[in-house]
Every structure is written in structure tokens, then in C-alpha cells.
Structure 1
Amino acid sequence: MNRRTFLRMMLASGIIISVPATGASALFADEPAETFHVVSQMLTGRQQLDAAISQRLYALLAAQNPHFSSRLTRLAQRLGRSGDLTPEARLAALSDEDVETALAVITPWYLGYTGNPATTRATDDAHFVSFLSALMYEPTADVTPRPSYSQRGSDYWQAVPEGVTAPPMPANIHVWGKASPRAASHIPEPQPAWLAMVEGRARTWQDAQRLTRGEGGDA
């Protein structure tokens, strides 16, 4: 999935670019960090973003990419000129580089960190920014505590939710862990025809089969 498609999906869900632009003057400030804050408000659709977090995010993104400040300025100019357009048209007016910059702004607000954490190396370029203010937890905040520690007692997740009738469970299921008898020993490779449809290279199963036969794959 490319960046523009992903941004369009977020737009369709109402997550981003839901605040109307108020003109180019609102998107520019004396300091680039202030411009970043206003652009962040527009792209996330939230007016109450924490200013201290915004300052830290801008500093980290600018340090991570020396071209970020100039690209942010171009993105702000595009958004400022598209204030009278619908969100869909505003997205269509962005260049591929603008889309990349927009996602660079949005992503850490939702994840709470910049860069890419690595589990196989001692060091990486990830930098923590915020846990409690990460926007990804907002949609389920009324039913799911942020997973730093349990707010509902030890092993609260093992209890069957109120009003739910659970089917019978196998004996000792709570201590299975990785020893589950149903655990997969390996992840099989996807069928080429199925993969062609997922990647958008074919619209129907028949087209996918014809395509993969032509590529030498098994359909």
C-alpha cells in the first residue's frame, strides 16, 4: 500500500484533515516549530494538541531529516492555498513529497515516538515522545486502558467480559503460552494469485490466476 492510498484511507475514516484550513496566514508563524504545531492541528483534526509535545516532535523530526523544515514549509503552503477545497480535493492537490511529509507529521502523533524501533539491534533511530498522549489510544479510551499497567487488577484480561457467554475452553489454556497445541510452526507463503489481488495488480480472482500463471506462479 503506497503512502497516498494510506492517507486516503485515514481521510475516509474521518481521522485526519477534518479541520478546515483558515487560510495561508494561519499556517505560518515566526518559528518553524509553531508552523509545525498548526499543520499538526489540521492534519490530525485536533485543536488541543499539547504544545510541549509538538515542540519535541518538531525538534526530533528536523534532526532526523535535514530537509524536513523546508518540506514542512512547502506542505503548509499547499494546505494554505487549498483552504476552500474539500478534504478529498485537498489531498489530491498534494504532491507525493507533500504526502510523505504529511505522514511524517501525523505518524508520531499517533504512535508517540519518532523513528523506527529495532528489536534486533542494540541501537536505532527511535525516540520516545509521549505515551499517555499518543492519539492511537483515543478511539478505545472508554473501554481499554493504555497498556502500561493494568488499571483493573492482576490478569484482568482473563475474565470473561460482562454479558458475554464464553465457549468451553481447553484445560490449562491460561498456561499454554507458546506451547499452544494450535500454534503454527511456520507461516506459509501466500498464494501468488491472492497476493496479486492484495497488491492491487488484479481486480478479480480470474485475472489474478491468469496473471500469476503468466509469471510462472501456481494459481
Structure 2
Amino acid sequence: MKKNNNSEDNSELSSNGRSRRNLISRSGTLIASFALVSGGLTSTPALAANSNNDSADFDGFIRLSRLLTGHNSLDIQLGERLYSALCQKNTQFAGEVKQLSEFVKQNNIPDVETLDEKLKQQPLHDPMMTIIKAWYSGVIEPGYHATVYGYQQALMYQIPRDGMVIPTYAHNGPDYWVANPPPVDRLLTF
């Protein structure tokens, strides 16, 4: 009789256990899907910064950044991070980028020096300098606790890169461990 009771108890436990497992499984799937969706939202600069921004706004930011920095091969991922952060910091930033782009187009501005001269003492000078500082420093605000959006990719380290090591405590440079070690030309003899 005890065997019978145990088998009845086991079948009851099994059905209870199955319903608990289903609940846990469904909860885990739901949590994972929320994580994937929220992770996808933060990786897209247009969505993370402001729902009104779109890829055309970001493309305009990159085109303007190329003129302002004088570099055509800017790091797009760094650009996404900078654009998103600048839009979050200043809700008017996307509009200022559009105004700057229109000013450049209307006045046929060939380089940043000409733009700087024309914008002296005008409201669009500040956003222009904000973009330049962000690309060159890799941060969008000064201070000890500023968030770093790009360190190795910051333009201030790209220009002298052939003669200067990026400042770091890692002896072989930042992220040195991701590169393949140099090949061994000959075996050492002892």
C-alpha cells in the first residue's frame, strides 16, 4: 500500500512540478525577451537618444562631423555613442545638428576654419565646438567622473599615433591582449 501511496504522491508532485517548471520556463523566456528588446533599443543611437531621431539625423551628424574634424574615416560606432549621448544630454542637439548642416550647405563652407570664422559670437558656435570636443576627447562633458565613450578611438590620439603611445598603464597599449602575439622566428636555446 505504501508503494501505491508513493506512486500517487509522485504523480501529484510530478504534475505540480510540471506546472512550476512551465511557469519558471515562461517567466525566464519573458525576461530574456525583455532583455533582448531593451538591449536592442540602447544599441541604436536614433532610438536611444530620442524617438523622433532617425538614421537620416545620424547620417547628417556623421557628415557634419567629417567636416568639423577634417577626418573622413571616423569610427561609426563611436559616432553612434557620441550622438546618442549628446542627444540625451541636450534635447535640442538633433535640431542644432540640422541647423549647422543647413548653414554649411547654404554658405558653401569648405572647411572647419571658415565655419568657425562665420559662427563667432553666434548660437551655433557652441554646438559646433561640442561636436569637435566630443570626437577629439571621447567624452561629452568635462570632469573627473565624465563618461568615456571612446578612448583608443579619440581623435587626439590618432594624429600622433605613429610616434606616441596612447597613455595607459598597460605596457603594450590598451587592449593589447586582443592582438596575436608576435611569431617566434627561432627557438631559444638554453
- Alignment TM class, shorter chain as reference: 0.5 to 0.7
Larger radius of gyration: 2
The whole-number CA distance in structure 1 between the counterparts of 2:155 and 2:63 is: 16
Unaligned runs of 5+ in 1: 1-28, 119-123, 153-219
CA shift, 1:116, in A, is 2.3
Question: What is the aligned partner in structure 2 of residue 180 from structure 1?
Answer: none
The secondary structure found in structure 1 opposite 2:167 is coil
**How many Å separate the matches in 2 of 1:135 and 1:86?**
17
1:141-188 C-alpha deviation (Å, 9 max, x unpaired): 122111122239xxxxxxxxxxxxxxxxxxxxxxxxxxxxxxxxxxxx
Matched, 1:117 2:138: no
Distance in 1, matches of 2:156 and 2:137, equals: 6
Give me the whole-angstrom Cα distance separating, in 1, the residues matched to 2:165 and 2:112.
32
What's the CA shift string for 1:15-57, capped at 9, x where partnerless?
xxxxxxxxxxxxxx95211111110011001111011111111
1:138 aligns with 2:164: no
Q: Which has the higher helix share?
A: 2
CA distance in 1, matches of 2:111, 2:77: 30
User: Could you tell me which of 92, 99, 121 is aligned with 1:67?
Assistant: 92
For residues 63 and 111 of structure 2, the distance between their equivalents in structure 1, rounded to whole angstroms, comes to 19
TM-score by length of 1: 0.49
> What are the superposed Cα offsets for residues 123-146 of structure 1, whole Å, 9 maximum, x if unpaired?
x5x222111111111232122111
Q: Return the alpha-carbon distance in structure 2 between the equivalents of residues 34 and 76 of structure 1.
A: 11
Please give the secondary structure, in 2, of the residue aligned with 1:79.
helix
* CA separation of 1:30 and 1:80: change in aligned 2, threshold 3 A: farther
Give 2:117's aligned amino acid.
A
Kindly provide the amino acid, as one letter, of the partner of residue 67 in structure 2.
M
Deviates more, 1:91-100 or 1:38-47: 91-100
Amino acid at match of 2:123: E
CA distance in 2: counterparts of 1:86 and 1:113, whole angstroms: 23
Q: TM-score, normalised by structure 2?
A: 0.55
Whether 1:37 aligns to 2:55 is no
1:55 maps to: 80
Q: Aligned match of 2:171 in 150, 157, 170?
A: 150
CA separation of 1:113 and 1:79: change in aligned 2, threshold 3 A: same
Structure 2 unaligned spans of 5+: 1-53, 174-190
Give the count of matched residue pairs: 118
CA shift, 1:114, in A, is: 1.6
Q: Alpha carbons of 1:140 and 1:62: their partners in 2 closer, same or farther (altered >3 Å)?
A: same
Amino acid at match of 2:99: R
Given that 1:82 and 1:90 are in contact with CA atoms closer than 8 Å, whether structure 2 keeps it comes out as: no
Aligned counterpart, 1:98? 124
Give the ranges of 4+ consecutive aligned residues of structure 1 lying more than 3 Å apart after TM superposition.
84-90
* CA RMSD, Structure 1 to Structure 2 (Å): 2.3
